[in-house]
């Protein structure tokens, strides 16, 4: 009987020691879920990652030289605001002067140059859907279709044109922060209607985009 009791006691002691080791062992690390809230304006946590829908836009003709030569030279604005529903579908609204002078000397008699006013001599507006198609990892093409509203203003006289807005272009991504794109866009019948009084209603544009 005593040998049996000794064996039972030894078994209990061994089981208790094993159980103590199991309790005292530190728990294995657990991967925490990403529970921080996400918003349209959130900074991506992974390079190249974007959340949708996403609002974007600004002055496409932004030129650092305007600040360097403030009061002497300026660049006519090309304003755009859009919302990307998915990586392939966006809706955009845009503005540009009927005559786009680009980077030019400031004319002290022109209120657009001296006061910051826009559209004094005419403008092009458009609202369009934009469809993007990736062609490779870095190259993509896009097309735009929508409605254009253009005005020509000469003193008290005003001409108005409403028509189809179309645009096609391509974008090459050099790096995460640098890209090159070129595009053609047409604002209704403005180019045919006003001919020399506009250089932006039907035009080809190319630009280098750099982000920091």
Q: What is the DSSP letter of 168?
A: E
Residue 179 within a domain: yes
The answer for residues whose C-beta is within 8 angstroms of residue 104's C-beta and 6 or more apart is 73, 74, 75, 76
Residue 64 DSSP SS3: coil
Residue 136 within a domain: yes
> Is the pLDDT assigned to residue 164 strictly greater than 80?
yes
Residue 149 within a domain: yes
Distance between first and last Cα of the chain: 84
Count of domains observed in the chain: 1
Count CB atoms within 10 A of the CB of residue 92. 20
Range of the structural domain that residue 165 is part of: 54-210
In three-state form (DSSP H/G/I as H, E/B as E, the rest C), the secondary structure along 184-197 is EEEECCHHHHHHHH
Residue 49 within a domain: no
**Among 17, 18, 48, 52, CA closest to 38:** 52
Bond preceding residue 101 cis, omega within 30 of 0:
no
Tens of pLDDT along 93-102? 999 999 999 9
Residue 78 within a domain: yes
> Is the pLDDT assigned to residue 45 strictly greater than 50?
no
Residue 6 within a domain: no
Return the pLDDT at 23: 46
Tens of pLDDT along 175-199? 988 999 999 999 999 999 998 889 9
Give the CATH number, domain containing residue 86: 2.40.160.20
Residue 21 within a domain: no
Residue 178 within a domain: yes
Partners of residue 97 on adjacent β-strands: 123
Reported pTM: 0.71
């Amino acid at each position: 009987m005593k040998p049996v009791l000794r064996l039972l006691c030894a078994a209990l002691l061994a089981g208790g020691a094993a159980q103590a080791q199991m309790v005292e062992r530190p728990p294995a690390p657990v991967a925490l879920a990403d529970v921080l809230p996400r918003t349209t304006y959130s900074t991506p946590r992974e390079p190249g990652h974007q959340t949708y829908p996403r609002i974007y836009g600004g002055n496409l003709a932004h030129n650092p030289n305007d600040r360097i030569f403030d009061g002497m030279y300026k660049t006519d604005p090309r304003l755009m605001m859009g919302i990307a529903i998915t990586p392939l579908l966006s809706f955009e609204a845009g503005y540009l002067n009927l005559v786009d002078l680009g980077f030019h000397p400031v004319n002290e008699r022109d209120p657009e140059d001296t006061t910051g006013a826009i559209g004094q001599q005419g403008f092009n507006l458009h609202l369009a859907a934009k469809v993007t198609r990736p062609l490779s990892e870095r190259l993509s093409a896009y097309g735009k279709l929508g409605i254009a509203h253009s005005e020509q203003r000469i003193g008290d006289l005003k001409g108005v044109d409403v028509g189809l807005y179309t645009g096609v272009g391509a974008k090459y991504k050099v790096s995460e922060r640098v890209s090159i794109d070129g595009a053609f866009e047409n604002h209704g019948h403005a180019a045919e209607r006003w001919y020399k009084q506009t250089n932006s209603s039907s035009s080809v544009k190319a630009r280098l985009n750099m982000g920091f």
